[in-house]
Structure 1
């Protein structure tokens, strides 16, 4: 079970350490909080991640790409995990990314941020919020930019969206409540645990 948990966490999650410790009192006098998040609305998240999280009573954040077929075909399951306390976050409708970046040949031209206007992505993100509201009934949520890209043909698009969200999970600048965003790759569960312990030892929140 431990190996399965590690595979799910590190292949699908990012990890965030919460800041502004002086303003937040964590349960049981905890020093920091770790947020586990999944992107894209994948079948594996419902099939593998949710059962493990529920078993250990851990709530995760699921950033849904709303055009993904799993949102339609497994809608009631997404709705149920929201009722169970997991977060449904905004990851746009169509997952647009910058095609001109290295290794991005898979990005279709009609979803290329390099040729998209700020107005177009703003409308997509805000429509995604409306769709998510129809799923979970919540008006406050977080956002993470697909591929971590925050620039369109018109420049930075994230700046104008900050008031639309409780937090934008991307590095430190737009995090609001996220001090660190860590997207591990090829590491074990034990290595991630040691990473979190290291942040605590250094006094980081």
Structure 2
């Protein structure tokens, strides 16, 4: 009798896990969000054509003062009209310059010299800039260099009403119940091959998790780069396996997670 009782408990547990995995990501095995940081020319020149040819949507985190932002406004505006997300990546891309290995941070972009209010003002001004491009009042944020604090205070604590989610830079992935929407983890591409990136997705499928992929350079433009062909092969893999993968922007994914949790 005891064995039968244990068997029934185990069966119910397995059924519950399977049921969650079948419904968590719109009936798919995992979710993948494709993101690009810093608003560089190579995103428009090398990444966007592949995304559009495959019908995939991505989140582009724009630094408003970047050269590609200032000189190609109409292209970013058109990008949003085609269903891609324009996310907030600050006005000037400040990073903490007082950390080890951060001697490349210029004085005027040293976040350790920022006041708390200056950080809030610049991030909110970037939202105004982005709204002028896409007309949207709600969007997501990406921490520059993964830096979240001015002094000992996380500035996102006072900006949760400004954003539906915020993305960090740790190489981790989580199931839907473990995701912190204002500290979303992601895997940073640093000269990885398509095969290596595909391994991330396969792990996400096994774990029924959210995988956020972060690109900087695509065929140049940043030291954290990916070869054009490796980038293309990875995106083609995502498209070919879309029956198992929920692929949406960070904004749409965050909204979906909130709605799923509210059920």
Q: TM-score, normalised by structure 1?
A: 0.81
For the structure 1 residues 177 and 80, does the alpha-carbon distance in structure 2 shift closer, same or farther, using more than 3 Å as the test?
A: same
Mind listing any 5+ residue stretches in structure 1 that lack a counterpart? 1-19
Structure 2 stretches of 5 or more lacking a match? 1-19, 211-263
Q: Residues 178, 158 of structure 1: CA spacing in aligned structure 2 closer, same or farther, 3 A cutoff?
A: closer
Do residues 184 (structure 1) and 189 (structure 2) align? yes
Q: Structure 1, residues 91-146: CA drift from partner, whole Å, max 9, x if none?
A: 00011100012222221212211121111100110111011000100011000011
Q: Secondary structure at the match of 1:72?
A: helix
Q: Are the structure 2 counterparts of residues 196 and 42 from structure 1 closer, same or farther at C-alpha, using a change threshold of 3 Å? A: same
Distance in 1 between residues matched to 2:29 and 2:204, nearest whole Å: 10
Q: How far off its partner does 1:178 sit?
A: 7.6
1:48-59 to structure 2, matched below 5 A, reads: 48-59=46-57
Counterparts in 2 of 1:112 and 1:160: CA distance versus 1, 3 Å: same
SS, match of residue 62 in structure 1: strand
TM-superposed CA distance for 1:177, in Å, is: 8.0
- Cα 1:152–1:23 change in 2 (3 A) is farther
Candidates 112, 115, 129, aligned match of 1:114: 112
The Cα shift of 1:41 comes to 0.6
Higher mean displacement: 191-200 or 86-95: 191-200
Aligned Cα RMSD in Å? 2.4
Query: 1:179 and 1:73, CA in 2 relative to 1: closer, same or farther beyond 3 A?
Result: closer
CA distance in structure 2 between the aligned counterparts of 1:21 and 1:85, rounded to whole angstroms: 27
**1:7-52 Cα shifts (integer Å, max 9, x gaps):** xxxxxxxxxxxxx9798552xx212221110011100000000001
Is 1:64 matched up with 2:62?
yes
- The whole-number CA distance in structure 2 between the counterparts of 1:83 and 1:42 is 19
Distance in structure 2 (CA, Å) of the matches to 1:32 and 1:202: 8
1:14-93 correspondence runs (5 A): 26=26, 29-93=27-91
Corresponding residue to 2:147 among 124, 141, 149:
149
Equivalent residue for 1:158?
Answer: 156
Alpha carbons 1:37, 1:63 under 8 Å: kept: yes
Q: Which has the larger radius of gyration?
A: 2
1:189–1:78 CA distance, 2 compared to 1 (3 A) = same
Contact 1:143 1:168 in 2 (8 A): yes
Q: Distance in 1 between matches of 2:90 and 2:188?
A: 19
